[in-house]
Amino acid sequence: MSKEAPKAFNVGICGLGTVGCGTLALIQGNSDELCRKLGRKLQVTHVATRTPKTDLNTDGMQVSSDIFDVVADPEINVVVETIGGFDPALELVMQALENGKHVVTANKALIAVHGNEIFTRARENNVTVAFESSVAGGIPIIKALREGLAANKINWLAGIINGTGNFILTEMAAKQRQFEDVLAEAQELGYAEADPTFDVEGIDAAHKLTIMASIAFGIPLQFDKTYTEGISHITPEDITYARELGYHIKHLGIAVNSGDAVEMRVHPTLIPSGSTIANIDGVGNAVLVHGDAVGATLYCGPGAGAEATASSVVADIMDIARIDSVGASAAIVPALGFCEPHSDTEVNDIEQISSEYYLRIQVQDKVGVMAKISNVLQNCDISIEAIIQKEAHSQTLPIVLLTHTAPERQINEAIQTLEALEEVVGKIVRIRVAPFADGTL
């Protein structure tokens, strides 16, 4: 007597934008391969979109204009949320979980800000929320942190986790172009949104860093405690001076576990020019993770795009289908990799960190200016590692300093005092230096 074939696993997709369309196309295009790996058919049976897509193959599917029709469909096993944002995405996800549906989402903002309550709701209803595609597109960094490196205490991680920002800095460095010009090109190419704030001001990267730090350090999601700084103040001159000092400028998300407390911060960073991560260019992403047992491991690849992100979405769907196939109602591995979080772990604010610093100070071309600057730094207990001082081509000139390691609050005090000097023109540009040992980046 032949064994009955396993029942097909039904997928509902809410939102047919870039990621939703990519997910549908990948499931359809790799149908035989997915079936071979799962031992059962994976099929999209219901999609919801407010903008009908005439170029998609939706034969045999129910097509709705209301996303809540998908979560109410009794035949759907997993709901894929690709609409983005908070409203109505949060309501949609919560309703799907309440209806006993598994959820896969690429929505990093939703997870970073509302993940704690979402995962609680999932546990209460004994279902799974998977979100690999929410961080670094096609790079499987969530599974690497949560499962592949589970035996390690993660000491720190650092990543280029926003492709738009990396593209802008790459173009500025390669062609000495101004930030505004490259941003306009990024928008024309579709790398940046019409409102690019989330990308260029670091908010998108901060969402992703919040998620990675929670998994890495076993702490609750705390987006409001992630320091966030963008790249709009970086100039081609800063990039040139950094290179003279032996560094590249990259927009990094950095999380550090010092044992008593953790740091979570997103900001432009000077990285040694010869390091691998300094040479990740264009829209590429890369994440470096240091575990106490394994040491440093690097994960790099496409951080966005329909196919890359769909790769992670479909991999999550497949994980859930495997769980369903063995009769389990939810994943064995907790969503963030821990059963009980370290809720008492402090998150340091930016003034509690220490770093080396790049300072660009525009000054009037007067005798004794450098002596005044040195005196201010000395009074703040800050020592200078390197100086670049250019000849004046007008009545002002830039002085570029690289400091030795100092506490952030002392640097803030020094900058405030320096900006009050009559010889200092405008605001001082401050960029932190990568806080890791040579060779690890």
- Give me the helix-helix angle, 179-188 and 163-175, nearest 10°: 130
**What single letter denotes the amino acid at residue 70?**
V
Burial 287-321 (b: 16+ CB within 10 A, else e): bbbbbeeeebeebbbbbbbbebbbbbbbbbbbbbb
Check the CA dihedral 127-128-129-133 and report its sign.
negative
Which of 101, 108, 143, 208 is labelled catalytic?
208
Cα 329 to Cα 306: distance, rounded to the nearest angstrom? 29
Which candidate, 112, 146, 140, places its Cα nearest to that of 299?
Answer: 140
- What backbone torsions phi and psi does residue 13 show, to the nearest 5 degrees? -110, 125
| Confidence (pLDDT) at 216 | 98
Per-residue pLDDT tens for 338-368?
988 888 899 999 999 999 999 999 999 999 9
What superfamily does domain 353-433 belong to in CATH? ACT domain (3.30.70.260)
| Alpha-carbon distance values, 77 to 13, 66, 335 (Å) | 11, 18, 18
CATH 3.40.50.720 domain locations along the chain: 9-139+307-325
Q: What is the CATH number of domain 148-302+344-350?
A: 3.30.360.10
CA dihedral 159, 264, 81, 133 (to 10 degrees): 20
| Confidence (pLDDT) at 54 | 75
Residue 208 a catalytic site member: yes
Cα 265 to Cα 299: distance, rounded to the nearest angstrom? 19
- What backbone torsions phi and psi does residue 409 show, to the nearest 5 degrees? -65, -30
Q: What is the CATH number of domain 9-139+307-325?
A: 3.40.50.720
CATH 3.30.70.260 domain locations along the chain: 353-433
CATH 3.30.360.10 domain locations along the chain: 148-302+344-350
**Block mean pLDDT (10 aa), the chain, length 441:** 73 95 96 96 96 84 96 98 96 98 97 98 97 96 98 97 96 96 94 93 98 97 98 97 97 94 97 93 95 95 92 98 92 91 91 96 94 97 94 86 97 98 96 72 54
DSSP 240-308: HHHHHTTEEEEEEEEEEE-SSEEEEEEEEEEEETTSTGGG--TTEEEEEEEETTTEEEEEEEE-SSHHH
| Confidence (pLDDT) at 55 | 82
Cα 240 to Cα 409: distance, rounded to the nearest angstrom? 27
* Helix (H), strand (E) at residue 159: strand 154-160
